[in-house]
Every structure is written in structure tokens, then in C-alpha cells.
Amino acid sequence: MVEMICLRGRAAVVLGVCLLLSCQQPPRCPGNLPVLGEKEMRGEDTLYHTVPDFEFINQDSMPVNAATFSGKAYVVDFFFISCPTICPKVMQQMLRVYQHFQEEPGIMFLSHTIDVRHDTIPRLKAYSEGLGVSSSKWHFVTGEESEIYGIADDYFSVAVKDNSAPGGFDHSGRLILVDSQRRIRSFCDGTDSESVDQFIRDIDCLLHEDH
Amino acid sequence: MKIISLLAGIGISFCFWMACAEPFSQGENLYMVSCASCHMEDGSGLGGVIPDLRERDIWQFGSEDLPCLIRWGSVIRVTDSLPKYPTVMPPHPSLTEVEIANILNFLQDRWGDPSRFYTPEDILRQLERCSVAMDAR
């Protein structure tokens, strides 16, 4: 009888240790995330699509460029403050992703306004403060309209002026994951919370990848 | 005969059950179409950017002014006691007074003061008042 209890006790300890260890393990990832976009073979090397240099300005009137995200992964989206359709829902999901990784130094956030005429720096500031997010981790940027629309293509997102669309702009509600080498590694539909759940798992996987 | 009265009984109770389950289903449908893309299906809004309709404080502000807020959007600034948000509520010119009454009755019932009830006539009266104010601008 005593032996039985001991055995059970030991089993419980072993089980507990296993559980403890499994908590510290990285999330289950079936290998590295794919690199998205066109590939080009040059000799032995594979060249992947990367996001080109950019220069925008954030809610604190500070310049934001590739160096801002140096050595870090970041999540990108496109929005505008007066958007009457999908933006609030997409922003709610972006906020959920931000809150999930709030304490994770390896990931940052970048939201581009596509309505540069109305979404001035003070308005972007008020918006980010309304969301209660840190401006060192989540940049809300504006800049040259053509540069913003141009870089949306490089992120495989859509952002165009369209007077027939509600609010005057047509854009996709995608969230896009960029790695520290500026390669696109994952994206999701920001209006679909299940798609965002998977996206959060992808970010976890990226953060645990061996470089 | 018995079967008919039994069926009628079931029919009547079904109607009661439907009425109890969703007393303001018209308003709910309109809310989902006209309001939920910003205020969200569960009324939670967006952080401090779009008002959370589940917060009771929101409903303490003049219920008389809400029809005007829906029709004209937040440019009308019906009351200065409302907290300021960094977003602007758009106008909804195509909603009729019956539809606004349906939406507000649904909202008051779910998150506000369920004893507050609007008839289309109430809405019309309040809209006339604020269209005078809008014309004067």
C-alpha cells in the first residue's frame, strides 16, 4: 500500500516536472515559417523578397525607418482614423496581438495611415493614447502618400484611394509579419479573429526560430 | 379539436418565447448593420478610441440627445459632458425615425436603462429640435 502511494507520488512528481518543462518549451512549430514572396536564385544563394528602405514619421514626430526595427520582427497594418468599415475591427485585433506580446522585446508594431490629409501627427498621437499603447513599441506613422501606397505593395497589402469605397479609401485588413531581415513571414485577415489566433502562434514560432 | 387547440397553444407559447428571447430584434439587426463595425457586435468599442457601449456611464448622458447623435454624428456635440474620443462618429442620414427608435430601444434595453422607451414620435420631435440647431450653424 505504502509502495503504491510512493509510486503514485513519484509519478505525480514526474508528471509535474514534465508539465513544467513543456510550459517552458517553445510553442509547437512544424519547422521554420516559410519566407513569402518571389524568390530568385543567384548561384548558390536564394534571394528573398525584402521590404525596401522607408522613411516615415510617427505620433511623436520622430522619424521611423528600417533602423527603428533593427534586429526585431514587426507587425504591419494600414488604416485610417475615420474609416467607417473594417478598420476598427482590424485595429481591435491588432491591439489584441500587441497586448499578447506587450512584454516581448523582440517584436514591434507599425500602423500606416492611408489618409495622410486628415490623420495628422496630433490625431495619430491622440489615437495611440486612446488605445493606451507605448509609442516606443507601436508606431503610428504618416508620410508621403505615394510612399505609403507604394510600400503597401511591398508588404503584399492593398491601399489605394477610391472615392467609391466607404470613407474614400480601399484597403485590405491584413496584418503582416516581417522578420528581422525584413522578409515577410506570415499574414492574416485582421477581421477574422481565428485567423489572428493562428497569426499569434506564427509570431511565437518566429520568435523561437534559430537564426 | 383537441389537436388544433394543442397546436394553437404551442404556437402561442412559441410566439411568447420568441418575444421574450429577443424583444428588440429589429433594433439588434439594425445595430449589427449600421453600428457594429465600429462599436463591435458585443458593444465593446475600441480601447479609448471608440466608446464602449456596455459602460453604464455612457448612458447617463442626455437620452434626449441620442437620436440627434445618431442622425448627425458627433459633429453635433449634443452635450459637452460626454468624454472626448479621438474619433468622430459619422452621421447616418438614411436611418428613419422608426429605425432610430428601434436601435435606441435595443441599446437601452441591453446596456442602458431598460425602462427608457422611445416611440417614433419622440424621435421625430427630437430630430426636429436638432435640425434647427444644425441649420443655425
For residue B118, give the CATH number of its domain.
Answer: 1.10.760.10
What pLDDT shows up at residue A122?
96
The domain A50-207 is classified under which CATH number: 3.40.50.1110, 3.40.30.10, 3.40.50.970, 3.20.20.70? Answer: 3.40.30.10
A107 is written with which cell numbers? 517584436
Whether B49 and A89 lie within 8 Å, measured CB to CB: no
Task: Give me the interface pTM, i.e. the ipTM.
Answer: 0.74
Say yes or no: A36 contacts chain B, CB-CB below 8 A.
no
Q: Give the residue from chain A lying closest to B39, CA to CA.
A: A88
pLDDT 10s digits, A10-69: 555 555 554 555 555 556 788 889 899 888 888 888 888 899 999 999 999 999 999 999
- Single out the residue of B95, B98, B114 nearest to residue B106, CA to CA: B114
Nearest CB to B37 within list A89, A126, A131: A89
| Angle, alpha carbons B87-B89-B92 (nearest 5°) | 160
User: Range of B40's domain?
Assistant: 24-135
| Helices and strands (H, E) in chain B, number of each type | 6, 0
What are the pLDDT digits (tens) for A145-182?
A: 999 999 998 898 776 677 777 777 777 889 999 999 99
A53 neighbors A65 (Cβ within 8 angstroms): yes
Residues A198 and A182: beta-carbon distance below 8 Å = no
Beta carbons within 8 Å of A190's beta carbon, 6+ residues apart: A77, A86, A89, A90, A93, A94, A173, A174, A175, A196
Helices of type H across A85-164: 87-100, 121-131, 145-154
Q: Is residue B45 part of a domain?
A: yes
Q: How many domains does chain B have?
A: 1
Judge: A85–B88 Cβ closer than 8 Å, yes or no: no
Nearest chain B alpha carbon to A127: B86
